[in-house]
Amino acid sequence: MHSFFTYVFLGISLAAPIGPVKATLINTGINKGFFRAWIFSLGALSSDILYMLLVYFGIAKFIDSPFMQTLLWSFGCFVLIYTGIENLLALHKTKAKTMTKTNRIRHTYIAGLFMAFLNPLTVLFWLGIYGSLLVGSSEPLAGYEIFICSGAILLGIMMVDLTMSLLSSSASKVLSNNILTGISMISSLSMICFGVYFGVQAYHSLF
């Protein structure tokens, strides 16, 4: 059986890079605290599990169709640009230890779920790496091995998300408001840049 910790490390390696979902997670941790950031990450993790199931049952071929790819690029573009602009407009409200109670936990979870699900980069990963995992490099994996390896990948992702949630929420307690505003601005601009990139990809897939 393949090493359990190898797949944990794979999950860590996949979750560590700062993409649009991680930028939003960091922004959530700074502005709304650890709990909201962790709930957001659980929403994103639910999307990962959903894609795992789609790949496992072979439904992912439908998602890999040109039409669905264009749709995902387009929706991802809209969601990221909208969220980034909304965060930029709310920068003046960024203060240490500020947690708005009006933002319900359910909305935070759904935001993480949809942002990760509509991220075409997530689709590319699960169709590529996880699809290869199911096939097996040298020998096919048994059913229980697939379950264990999938759990190891998810564990690695959860470790990174937990660390980022802790660090971003702790930053709001030790950093000045100006630094927090700067971090929020950078993460918001990165979301907009990713959104523009997704929009360009959607355009190229259409024309």
**207 residues of the chain, pLDDT tens digit each:** 457 788 888 788 877 777 788 888 988 888 888 999 999 999 999 998 998 888 777 765 666 677 777 877 787 788 778 878 877 777 665 444 444 554 578 889 998 998 888 877 777 777 766 766 665 544 555 667 778 888 888 999 999 999 999 988 887 777 666 777 777 788 778 878 888 988 898 888 887
pLDDT at 135: 58
The pTM score is: 0.74
Contact of 75 with 20, CB cutoff 8 Å: no
| Three-state DSSP class for residue 190 | helix
| Domain segments of the chain as ranges | 4-206
Contact of 126 with 52, CB cutoff 8 Å: yes
pLDDT at 60: 56
Backbone angles phi, psi at 98, to 5 degrees: -90, 125
SS3 of the chain: helix, strand, coil, percent, to 5: 80, 0, 20
**Token pair of 37 as six digits:** 């950031």
Taking Cα atoms as reference points, which of 181, 175, 195 lies closest to residue 94?
A: 181
